[in-house]
Structure 1
Amino acid sequence: MSRNKKLMREYFAVETEYTIKDIEYEIVDEPYLGYKVHLCKLSAGWRPLFQRHKTISTFKEVEEFCLKNKSMVSIYDEYGRRYTWKQYFKKVYNHSQRKAEPRKWIYDIDPIFPDNGPRLHMASCTEQEAEIYMPFCHREYNEKEKLAKERFHVHERIWSDEKSWEDPDYPFDWTEGEFC
Structure 2
Amino acid sequence: MRPEPGQVLHFSEDPTIERFVPHVAVTSALTEPYVWAVGHDRCPDYWFPRACPRAIAWVGARTTDEDRARIIGRGCGDRVHAIEYCWLKALMDVKLYAYRLPADDFAPVGDPPHAMVSKVPVEPLGPPEPVSDLFELHEQAGIQLRVLPNLWAFWHEVIESTVEFSGIRLRNARR
TM-score where L is the length of structure 1? 0.25
Q: RCO (CA 8 Å, sep 6+): is it higher in 1 or 2?
A: 2
Q: Which has the larger radius of gyration?
A: 1
TM-score where L is the length of structure 2? 0.25
